[in-house]
Chains A and B, each alone.
Chain A
Amino acid sequence: MADGEYVLEARGVLKIFGNHVALDTVDFGLRSGEVHALLGENGAGKSTLIKILTGAYQPDGGGIYVDGAEVSLDNPLHAQTFGIGTVYQEVNLLPNRSVAENLFLGHQPRRFGFVDFRRMEADARVLLANYDLHIDPSSELGTHSVAVQQIVAIARAVQLSGKVLILDEPTASLDRNEVERLFEVVRGLKAKGLAIIFITHFLDQVFAIADRVTVLRNGKLIDTRQLDALSRTDVVRLMLGKDIAFSGATDVEPSETPDEVLLEFKSYGRRRSVLPFDLTIHKGEVIGVAGLLGSGRTEVARIMFGADPADQGEVMVNGKPTSLRRTTDAIRHGFGFCPEDRKAEGILGDLSVRENIVIALQGKLGWFRALNRDEQLEIAGRFGEAMDIRAASLDMPVKLLSGGNQQKVILSRWLATDPAFLILDEPTRGIDVGAHAEIVRTINRLREDGMAMLVISSELDEVVAYSSRIVVMRDREMVAELRGKNINPGVIVQAIANHTDEAVA
Chain B
Amino acid sequence: MKRFQLERLANPQLLALVAVLLINWLLFPNFFRITWQDGRLFGSVIDVLNRGAPVAILAIGMTAVIATKGVDLSVGAIMAVCGAVAATMVVAGYPTPVAVIAALSVGLVCGLWNGFLVAVLDIQPIVATLVLMVAGRGIAQLITEGSIVTFNEPSLIFIGTGSFLGFPMAAVIALVLMIAVTLLVRRTAIGLFIQAIGVNRAAASLAGIHSRMLLVLVYALSGFCAAIAGIIVAADIRGADANNSGLWLELDAILAVVIGGTSLLGGKFSIPLAVVGALIIQAMNTGILVSGFRPEFNLIVKAGMIILILMLQSPLIGNALGFFKRDTRQAGSK
- Cβ proximity bits B204-233 to A, threshold 8 Å, 1 near / 0 not: 111111100000000000000000000000
B202 is an interface residue with CB less than 8 A from chain A: yes
Q: Could you say which residues of chain A place their CB within 8 Å of the CB of B187?
A: 370
Q: Could you say which residues of chain A place their CB within 8 Å of the CB of B31?
A: none
- Cβ proximity bits A327-358 to B, threshold 8 Å, 1 near / 0 not: 11001000001010000111111111001000
Q: Tell me the complex Cα distance, A465–B168, Å.
A: 72
In the complex, are the beta carbons of B208 and A355 less than 8 A apart? no
A17 is an interface residue with CB less than 8 A from chain B: no
In the complex, are the beta carbons of B210 and A328 less than 8 A apart? yes
Q: Could you say which residues of chain B place their CB within 8 Å of the CB of A350?
A: 195, 199, 267-268
Q: A328-B210, A348-B196 are in contact. Are A362 and B189 (CB under 8 A)?
A: yes
B192 is an interface residue with CB less than 8 A from chain A: yes
Q: Tell me the complex Cα distance, A350–B195, Å.
A: 9
Chain A residues 339-389 with CB under 8 Å of chain B are 339, 344-352, 355, 359-360, 362-371, 373
In the complex, are the beta carbons of B209 and A359 less than 8 A apart? yes
Q: Could you say which residues of chain A place their CB within 8 Å of the CB of B192?
A: 355, 359, 362, 370
Return B193 CB to nearest CB of chain A, in Å.
7
In the complex, are the beta carbons of B206 and A345 less than 8 A apart? yes
The size bracket of the interface on B is 20 to 34
Q: Tell me the complex Cα distance, A371–B202, Å.
A: 23
Q: A348-B200, A350-B268 are in contact. Are A339 and B206 (CB under 8 A)?
A: yes
Q: Could you say which residues of chain A place their CB within 8 Å of the CB of B199?
A: 348-351
Q: A365-B189, A367-B188 are in contact. Are A359 and B206 (CB under 8 A)?
A: no
Q: Could you say which residues of chain A place their CB within 8 Å of the CB of B208?
A: 327-328, 331, 360, 363-364
A413 is an interface residue with CB less than 8 A from chain B: yes
In the complex, are the beta carbons of A351 and B196 less than 8 A apart? yes
Q: Could you say which residues of chain A place their CB within 8 Å of the CB of B267?
A: 350-351
Q: Tell me the complex Cα distance, A364–B199, Å.
A: 19
Q: Could you say which residues of chain B place their CB within 8 Å of the CB of A352?
A: 333
Q: A367-B190, A368-B188 are in contact. Are A359 and B204 (CB under 8 A)?
A: yes
B307 is an interface residue with CB less than 8 A from chain A: no
The size bracket of the interface on A is 20 to 34
Q: Could you say which residues of chain B place their CB within 8 Å of the CB of A366?
A: 189
Return B81 CB to nearest CB of chain A, in Å.
29
Closest residue of chain A to B266 (Cβ to Cβ) is: A350
Q: Tell me the complex Cα distance, A39–B203, Å.
A: 31
Return B25 CB to nearest CB of chain A, in Å.
38
Q: Tell me the complex Cα distance, A345–B193, Å.
A: 15
**Which residue of the partner chain, among A337, A348, A364, A368, contacts B204 with CB atoms under 8 Å?**
A348
In the complex, are the beta carbons of B207 and A349 less than 8 A apart? no
Q: A363-B208, A363-B209 are in contact. Are A345 and B189 (CB under 8 A)?
A: no
Q: A351-B195, A352-B333 are in contact. Are A344 and B189 (CB under 8 A)?
A: no
Return A454 CB to nearest CB of chain B, in Å.
15
Chain A residues 442-472 with CB under 8 Å of chain B are none
Q: Could you say which residues of chain B place their CB within 8 Å of the CB of A328?
A: 208, 210
Q: Could you say which residues of chain B place their CB within 8 Å of the CB of A337?
A: 206
- Residue pairs across A and B with Cβ atoms less than 8 A apart, 9 shown, are A348-B195, A348-B207, A350-B195, A350-B267, A351-B199, A359-B204, A359-B207, A360-B208, A368-B188
Residues of chain A having any CB pair with chain B under 8 Å: 305, 307, 327-328, 331, 337, 339, 344-352, 355, 359-360, 362-371, 373, 395, 413
